[in-house]
Amino acid sequence: MAVVIAVDGPAASGKGTIARALARHFGLPHLDTGALYRAVALAAARERIAPDDEDALGRLAARLDLTLLEDPMLRSAATAEAASRISAHPAVRTALLAFQRSFATQPGGAVLDGRDIGTVIAPEADAKLFVTAAPAVRARRRWLELGAPGGEEGLATVEAEIAARDARDRDRDAAPLRIADDAILLDTTDLDKDAAVRRAIDHVVDRLGPAS
């Protein structure tokens, strides 16, 4: 089925899990666009490019080594933090735009998740979801994913990091995190993974009709 599904939302909202489940359910390829920004951040750290050197970061993003998407450091808190800084640069976003657009417009359809999929990358998507959850719930999920480092203090650190990242993603000028006008809001605060995925699938089926 050649449909395009856009899944956006703040850090640790469950959008990645939902996007992967939608891709599996509807038999579509999936792109985690956050991983692209993380890969640029990782490459920049290794090449000692400063987070405020927009020109160098833009050039780096344009020749991004996609094998970095498999790097175990991609998921670290430090990489997430650096990704949220470098992703505010228009030159970085522009360099990654064509790859994401061509993924979104491939003939068989696709699922993409990120911050600006429904607004910038695939504004014509057939179904758009904006996934969110209460900040404390998102922080706990991410902290557990990271192996619950540092006890309650560690949890507070993760919550602060997520809040800072959300604020940067929301407040930047270039493609800020916002809900597309035609997206539905999926709040996963009180939902477990299976219930959240079920809701997401139901929404897409509603949008596309029963033939899906």
Q: Would you say 169 and 84 are in contact if contact means Cβ atoms under 8 Å apart?
A: yes
Amino acid code (one letter) for 131: V
User: Minimum distance between the CB of residue 152 and ligand C5P, rounded to whole angstroms?
Assistant: 23
Any bridge partners for residue 132, and if so which?
187
Tokens 């800084």 belong to residue: 85
Stretch that binds ligand C5P, among 43-51, 78-86, 102-110, 132-140 (CB under 6 A): 78-86
Closest to 89 in 3D by CA, of 32, 35, 13, 168: 168
State yes or no: residue 169 binds ligand C5P (CB under 6 A). yes
State yes or no: residue 37 binds ligand C5P (CB under 6 A). yes
State yes or no: residue 34 binds ligand C5P (CB under 6 A). yes
State yes or no: residue 103 binds ligand C5P (CB under 6 A). no
Kindly tell me which residue out of 89, 165, 199, 203 binds ligand C5P, with binding defined by CB under 6 A.
Answer: 165
User: Residue 83 or residue 137: which is nearer to ligand C5P going by CB?
Assistant: 83
Q: How many CB atoms lie within 10 A of CB 192?
A: 10
Stretch that binds ligand C5P, among 31-39, 54-62, 153-161, 191-199 (CB under 6 A): 31-39
Give one DSSP letter per residue of 93-136, joined into a string.
HHHHHHHHHHHHTSTTEEEEEESSIIIII-TT-SEEEEEE--HH
Q: Give residues in contact with ligand C5P (CB under 6 A).
A: 11, 33-34, 37-38, 80, 83-84, 87, 114-116, 165, 169
